[in-house]
Structures are given as C-alpha cells and as structure tokens.
Homo-oligomer: A and B are copies of this chain.
C-alpha cells in the first residue's frame, strides 16, 4: 500500500488555458460569497442536476475547493435557497401595505411594483420552480411567509376599504384567497413567459403589473359585495 510519490515536476506557470481565473488565494469569506453567487447563476440555468465539476469550471476554481466551503452539493443548494428567497424580503413592504393615510389602490400599486421584481427575476423564478419540482420544502415555507405578510394584510385592507368586517372577526373566504392567488399567479406567469417558455413578454412590465393590480382591485370589490355579509356598523 506504499503510495509511490510521483515526482510530478510541472511548475506553476503554464497556468490557465481554459477560463477566467479568479486571482487566486482569496479571503475565505470572499471566496464563499463568490461561490454562492456563482452557484445561484449556475443552478438557475442548469437546474440542480447540474454538475459540480461544471460549476467549478465556470467559477474558474477546482472542484475540490468547492467542497472546502460547502460540505456537499446539498448544503450548497440549501444555501442557495436561503440567499435567494429569504434575504430579499423587504422589511418596508408591511408598512407600505398598511399605511391608511394613502388610498389603498395606490398602496397596492406601489407594493406590487416593487414586490413583482422578485418573481419576475430570472434566478428567483427558475430556482423557485426547480425547488418546487424537486419537492423542496422552501416553497411551502415561502408561501406561508407570503400568506402572513401579504395575502392576509391585503385582504384585511380591502375589507376595510369596502366596508366589511376585518379578518379577525370574519375569517378569509375561499373566493378572497383565490383572488389573491390569481394576482400572484398572473405576475409569476409573466416571468415564466420570459424565463421558462422564452416567448414574448410585455414590453412595459410595470404597466402590465399596474393593469393586473387595477383588475384585481375592481374584481375584489365586486366579489366582496357579492359574497360577504354587510358590515353591521353601516
């Protein structure tokens, strides 16, 4: 079992014929960040069945180095989830949605103009889909977040706007929830057209989102008046 040391001379230079080198010997925190960002780009493009060899080659580093910073491919993917889905949630959204000094329709337009950037982004959308198809739990976690911080507050604001009981007094109905889902589905689908189907997306995305929010608002009013009991205080 004696490992015969190979005298392999091969002195340093001769260097890199292949890709762009990263200026070797980075500080660990910088290298980790670089790998994570590269992994997001890579997995968004190739899915999670993409090979670690190819990812390393894209980054201009060796495959071994990858495993110095992330113990396994699975751990790397988990870090990708964290970075993509949880680090981008803006803390100001809550305040925007519930600021009753502004007209609700205006708040909704402002919020969705900003929020829609997430699902309309290439990396966010594709990784979200790959994760969902793979059965990862991140999607359910994200949906729970969106439900608590967007769906429920928006419905409560709509109730207030149109003169119905708040959701603490009258639980959210299925038609109300479906209307919320419909809005989010329509927004997400714009991204899918761009990043999954590669068909024409609207030239004016902000305008398209605005149109969706207006339609949502109008349909919400109609639907609530048709299905909710009148507020006693009126």
Residues of A bordering B, CB below 8 Å: 47, 49, 126, 129-130, 132-135, 139-140, 143, 174-175, 177-179, 181-182, 184-190, 192-193, 196-199, 202-204, 208, 211-212, 215, 218-219, 222-223
State in angstroms the CA–CA spacing of A219 and B134 once bound together: 36
Enumerate 27 A-B pairs (CB-CB under 8 Å) in ascending A order. Answer: A47-B134, A129-B129, A129-B133, A129-B196, A132-B192, A132-B197, A139-B197, A140-B198, A174-B208, A177-B202, A178-B202, A179-B211, A181-B189, A181-B190, A181-B193, A182-B189, A185-B185, A185-B186, A185-B188, A185-B190, A185-B192, A189-B189, A211-B223, A215-B215, A215-B219, A215-B222, A218-B218
Flag if B218 contacts A47 (CB, 8 Å).
Answer: no
Residue of B nearest to A174 (CB): B202
Total copies of this chain within the assembly: 2
Closest B residue, CB atoms, query A49: B49
Q: Does A211 contact B133, Cβ atoms closer than 8 Å?
A: no
Task: With CB as the reference atom, state the residue of chain B lying closest to A197.
Answer: B139
Min CB distance, A137 to chain B, in Å? Answer: 9
Chain B residue at smallest Cβ distance from A175: B211
